Amino acid sequence: MGDLSTTDRTRHRRLREQGRTGRQELFDVLGAGFVCHLGVIVDGAPMVVPTVYGFDSEHVYIHGSVASRSLTGEGRTVCVTVTHVDGLVLARSVFEHGVNYRSAVIYGVPRALEGEEKLEALRLLTEHTAPGQWEYARRPNRKELAATTILAISLEEASVKIRQGPPDDADDPHDVWAGVLPLSTTWQAPVTDPSAGHDVPDHVRRRAGTRIG
Amino acid sequence: MGDLSTTDRTRHRRLREQGRTGRQELFDVLGAGFVCHLGVIVDGAPMVVPTVYGFDSEHVYIHGSVASRSLTGEGRTVCVTVTHVDGLVLARSVFEHGVNYRSAVIYGVPRALEGEEKLEALRLLTEHTAPGQWEYARRPNRKELAATTILAISLEEASVKIRQGPPDDADDPHDVWAGVLPLSTTWQAPVTDPSAGHDVPDHVRRRAGTRIG
């Protein structure tokens, strides 16, 4: 595995000790979630919207429609950020309070996919978000595919930041309890659509009780 | 409660049925989390970073340092987005798959706070993120306060989107199970800093097992 690029944007300027440079760490952060925050520029102002994503070793894939207002113009850089909040860092001083987290930031110029490449990216995105559903659900027909824009963004320019562990102010004279309050995100029991028949399929049922993030 | 403004940016263009206009719904979304995604423009490209926030009836408050690279220039609009992912919508067709979520998007020009206003905003931000810690932990001294930038962003230009309930493709001929796989985020048992004495204080202990979001 190579290292992540360090362009001017992704070189860590602040909190350098939280920076990570390994590609595997990027894949780990991307693999741990399915919703990213996409940043685009609309009429000169930043716009940040949540959207689902998928990825492979080269690209992150998103639906283009979420960015329709801004991505009609070609060649514009966007920012894709994936964040997992792992816990609250409760320090001795308010100043040292913080969050344990893992975060990936990717910059790139989106490319709209067509044909086989588009279908494969949509499969990746679907299977990353809802594993097993590409086989189980009805795949897109010609009309639905035409109505779907899938964008690929290169993983070449990316950075990962991770903060873990206890607070950093063990030497603070304020002598109180300090530690971390962890957060856990878990899939719950499936809720069947009242208008649907059939039992919950195994590939959905077995996610219940498992953690994400 | 008044309605949220509808500027050109916050008028819902897509997925109009998911838009909400009430101020209470904005406060509900802001109250349900403590990490936002801040969007700023740096060297002509969007940059999206996660950061903690607090709020009152007029403003959302963030630490300025996270945006230091971009907010040194005055008068620039930023975007603050808060998202709660409530579940995965597993439809009959891949095309109708989606996410149940609540999301708030706020646009504004940040104002750096000073003096009493700054201290009160820092208290709000701390108490929103880590309730009880403003009383329990050591408050910022003069030097720490000087090293902290707190930005206020008006809630005037904001929009809320919510998607709830089962998939929308009950009429799809593909006759399979469909429904929602809910997600739940819960505080876990506190992890004491090995170098800290004292028992876990009640205001921390009683959060364990409670949900956020």
Average confidence score pLDDT of chain B: 90
Chain A positions touching B44 (Cβ under 8 A) are 41, 77
Angle at A41 between CA B9 and CA B129, to 5 degrees: 75
Which amino acid type is present at position B186?
Answer: T
- Highest mean pLDDT (candidates A66-75, B67-76, B179-188): B179-188
Q: A42: which chain B residues are within 8 Å (Cβ-Cβ)?
A: 9
- Partners of B130 on chain A (C-beta within 8 Å) are 88, 90, 97
- Of A66, A180, A187, the closest CA to residue B18 belongs to A66
Q: How far, in Å, CA of A191 to CA of B165, rounded?
A: 9
Give the residue on B whose Cα is nearest the Cα of A192. Answer: B179
| Highest CATH level, class, for A16-208 | mainly beta
Percent of chain B at pLDDT exceeding 70: 86
Interchain contact, A138 vs B174, CB within 8 Å: yes
Residue B56: strand, helix, or coil:
coil
Q: Number of helices (H) and strands (E) in chain A: give both, helices first.
A: 5, 12
Tokens of B70: 């971009």
Neighbours of B144 (CB within 10 A): 15
Which residue among B79, B126, B176 sits closest to A48, beta carbon to beta carbon?
A: B79
User: Which residues, 6 or more positions from B111, have their beta carbon under 8 angstroms from its beta carbon?
Assistant: B151, B152, B153
DSSP letter string, A37-64: EEEEEETTEEEEEEEEEEE-SSEEEEES
Nearest to B133 among A79, A90, A194 (CB): A90
Helix (H) or strand (E) holding A86: strand A78-90
Instruction: Check if the beta carbon of residue B213 is closer than 8 Å to that of residue B33.
Output: yes
Report CB contact under 8 Å: A46, B182. Answer: no
Residue contact B181–A188, C-beta within 8 A: yes
From the list A41, A175, A192, which residue is nearest B177 (CB)?
A: A192
One-letter amino acid of A192: T
What confidence tens digit (pLDDT) does each residue in B114-139 have? 999 999 999 999 999 999 999 999 99
Interface A–B counts its CB contacts (< 8 A) at 312
Instruction: Report DSSP letters for B76-130, one per residue.
Output: --EEEEEEEEEEEEE-SBGGG-EEEEEEEEEEE--EE--HHHHHHHHHHHHHHHS
C-alpha dist (Å) from residue A125 to A150, A208, B32, B77, B123: 9, 21, 28, 32, 41
> Cα separation of A71 and A66, whole Å?
9
* Residues B84 and B101 sit within 8 Å (Cβ to Cβ): yes
Tally of residues, chain A: 213
Percent of chain A at pLDDT exceeding 70: 86
Q: Which two tokens stand for residue A9?
A: 């944007």
Q: Which residue has the higher pLDDT, A42 or B93?
A: B93
Whether B140 sits inside 8 A of A87 (CB atoms) is no
**By CA distance, what is B143's nearest residue in A?**
A95
pLDDT digit string, tens, across residues A63-121: 987 555 555 456 889 999 999 999 999 999 999 999 999 999 999 999 999 999 999 99
Contact A90 B204 (CB under 8 A): yes
Contact B153, B51 (CB under 8 A): no
Q: Which of A14, A77, A136 sits opposite B45 (nearest CB)?
A: A77
- How far apart CA B103 and CA B212 sit, in angstroms, is 14
Q: How far is A212 from chain B (nearest CA, A)?
A: 9
User: CB B90 to CB A140 under 8 A?
Assistant: no
Choosing among 3.90.1150.10, 3.30.450.20, 2.30.110.10, 2.60.40.1120, the CATH entry for B16-167+178-185 is: 2.30.110.10
ipTM score here?
0.92
B9, B46, B147: residue with CB nearest A40: B46
Tokens 């309070």 found at: A97
Whole-angstrom Cα distance, residue B117 to residue A83?
Answer: 30
**Is 80 exceeded by the pLDDT of residue B161?**
yes
Mean pLDDT confidence for B155-184: 96
pLDDT at A16 exceeding the cut of 70: no
Cβ <8 Å between A39 and B43: no
